[in-house]
Amino acid sequence: MGVSCPLTEYLHFMKRLLKICLLGVIGILPASRTFAQFENFKDSVVQLVGVVMSSDSLKALPGATIMVKGERRGAVANEQGVFSIVVLKGDVLQFTFVGYTPVEKKVPTDIVGNQYSLVALMSADTSKYMTTVVLRPRPTREQFERDFVTMEFKDDAMATATKNMDPKQRARLLRTLPRDAREMTNYQLTQQARSMYYTGQAPPQNIFNPFAWSEFIKAWKRGDFKNNSDDNY
């Protein structure tokens, strides 16, 4: 009995040691497998940058939708038709745009590195002749600031009326506006009444009128006879 006890303890110790070694090996294997899977996943991730254009005119298609087939991930092309999206090697991209036939592009699996670029050409859908309305993405901050500063607004009705009531503007219009029938009739009747008033005598001549000369001299001193380029065409 004295010999068997140390042997039994030794066997129990070896069993515990074997269990510890097995647990260590089991713990190391998943870690190495997980690391290998992470490396494979990291190698399959691709940063894809591309542009969506019309096949006939090579014009950019802003607002085109790019979706990963079978996934809920996607992107929208900007004003220049450029887009950027993170995909996996082998993914299929679906391109859609109003009035154009949808296009699918597959990401190659033999890409070297983690970056890839492509050009998606879309053809107009001639089978649909309905009027389409394209909703463009909202402008960027730089575009808004540029357009806000350089945009010219037309005068409203009040500003136009104020300009037309300007005395110089009215004088220009009066010089070019012909007389209507009522004005011509009044003018003719006034001339006839004046000629009948001086029937049988010579009408007065303002060249001999001292009051007229006085008004002429005052107007000349005021500069009323100076040529004003603003009042003449």
pLDDT of residue 233: 45
pTM for the full predicted model: 0.44
| Residue 28: predicted pLDDT | 58
Beta bridge partners of 86: 47
Write down the pLDDT at residue 161.
80
Beta strands in the chain (DSSP E): 45-54, 65-68, 74-76, 82-88, 92-96, 103-106, 115-122
Q: Which domains does the chain have, with CATH numbers?
A: 44-122 (2.60.40.1120), 157-231 (no CATH)
Token duo for residue 73: 């991930």
* CA dist list (Å): 117 to 107, 141, 205: 10, 27, 94
Closest-CA residue to 66 (of 102, 93, 31) = 93
Query: For each of the chain's 233 residues, which pLDDT tens digit applies?
Result: 444 456 667 566 666 766 666 666 566 555 555 544 545 556 788 999 999 999 999 999 999 999 999 988 899 999 999 999 999 999 999 999 988 999 999 999 888 888 999 999 999 887 766 666 666 677 788 888 888 788 776 777 778 888 878 888 888 888 888 878 888 898 889 888 888 887 877 777 777 778 888 888 888 888 877 765 445 44
The pLDDT of residue 228: 54
Q: What is the DSSP string of 90-148?
A: T-EEEEE-TTB--EEEEPPS--SSSEEEEEEEE-B-TT--S-----PPPPPHHHHHHHH
Q: Which residue reads 């065409």 in tokens?
A: 233
Query: E strand or H helix at 73, and its extent?
Result: none
Strands 45-54 and 115-122: parallel
Token pair, residue 176, equals 């070019």
Can you tell me the distance from the alpha carbon of 231 to that of 57, in angstroms, rounded to the nearest whole number?
52
Residue 71 is classified by DSSP as S
